[in-house]
Amino acid sequence: MGNISKNAYGMTLLCPIRQDDAAHSYSNLTRDCLETLPLHDNSPMAKVPNTYLCRLYVLDDVFYQGAPANEEHLKSKYLVFCTNFHGDRDTYLRGMWNAVQEDVKRIWGYCIAFDKVKTAGDFVAYAKQCQVTNSLFFNGSDGGPLDEQLKALYLRQEFTRFAFDNFGKSAVELQQAFREFVAIVQPDNLQTPTWAPGMTQETQQLQYSFHTAARKEEYA
């Protein structure tokens, strides 16, 4: 299966954009919409459950590479949506609709037949129509749920800090420090503290040592 790697799914949609009319270029309007989307943790896609990464762009046409290639053109311009996520396709699409349907309506607003999409079920059916099978899907993780992966990455980074900070301590001190560390990072709590989806800058509050009594002066 070209779209599935363990529990990760790679979905590619090619959604045809309406032909330009005398007054509007719908591909330009779509591009405008994409270029003004908020970024990183403010992106609407950061609110869509289990999104690892995704990309939206407008495909105008295929390039003619010169003779002896045949010159070919696409029948329309396309909004391309590539997304990698945890879980199955339909659940993901329903989650996306439920989380950010206003954004979805704006982004897809100039696509052919999207005006008929009114419900999560319609969105799933629409996406299936537009889906192409991936040929080289690569996913760099184990495909687990996003919150587990973010927590795991957070824990790994903080544990590296812990290892460097506490190197050379006696077994007793180390155990004490580790207890404090565990109490701060809460390994079993997927909600907090952890990295937020789309986050690109780590805050001080997320560094475990910020919460230790011994390191107060560093953060003063």
Partner 1 sequence: MTVSLELHDIQGNVVKGYGRQHFSFARYILFAIHDERAGRKFIRNILPLITTATPWKTCDNDSGGVPKPEATTNIAFTYHGLKCLGLPESSLHSFPTDFSDGMRARRDILGDHGKSAPENWDPVWNHPDKKVAILVSINGQSTVAIENRYKEIQKILEGVKSGMEQLCGHRGESGAEDLPYQEASAIFNEQGDPTPKEHFGYTDGISNPFFKGTGKNPNLVIGSGKPSRDNPEGWAPIEPGEFLLGYRDESQETPKAPTPPLLAKNGTFMVYRKLHQNVNSFDTYLSNQSTKHPEFNEEEIAAKFAGRWRNGAPITRFPTEEEADNFVKSVKETKKALDNAKDAIELEEAELLYSVLLSQYSAFNYDEDLDGSRCPVGAHIRRCNPRGSLEYGTKAYATPGALTNRRRLLRRGLPYGDSSDRSRDDGNHGIIFMTLGASISRQFEFVQQQWINYGNDFKAANEKDPLLGNHGVDKLGRGNGKMLFQKNKGSDESPYFCSHIPRFVDMHGGEYFFLPSITALHFIGRGTVDGT
Q: Which residues bind partner 1 (CB under 8 A)?
A: 160, 163-165, 167-168, 217-220
Give the residue from 35, 40, 76 showing the smallest Cα distance to 56: 35
Q: Is 1 helix (H, G, I), strand (E, B) or coil?
A: coil
Phi, psi of 182 (to 5 degrees): -65, -40
Between 166 and 186, CB nearer to partner 1: 166
* Cα separation, 128 vs 134, whole angstroms: 13
Between 68 and 168, CB nearer to partner 1: 168
Query: Which residues have CB under 8 Å from 87's CB, separation 6+?
Result: 7, 9, 50, 145
Burial class (CB in 10 A: 0-12, 13-18, 19+), 62: exposed
**What is the smallest separation between the CB atom of 219 and partner 1, expressed in angstroms?**
7
**What is the smallest separation between the CB atom of 164 and partner 1, expressed in angstroms?**
5
Between 91 and 157, CB nearer to partner 1: 157
Between 119 and 204, CB nearer to partner 1: 204
**What is the smallest separation between the CB atom of 99 and partner 1, expressed in angstroms?**
32
**What is the smallest separation between the CB atom of 160 and partner 1, expressed in angstroms?**
7
**For residues 201 and 216, is the Cβ–Cβ distance under 8 A?**
no
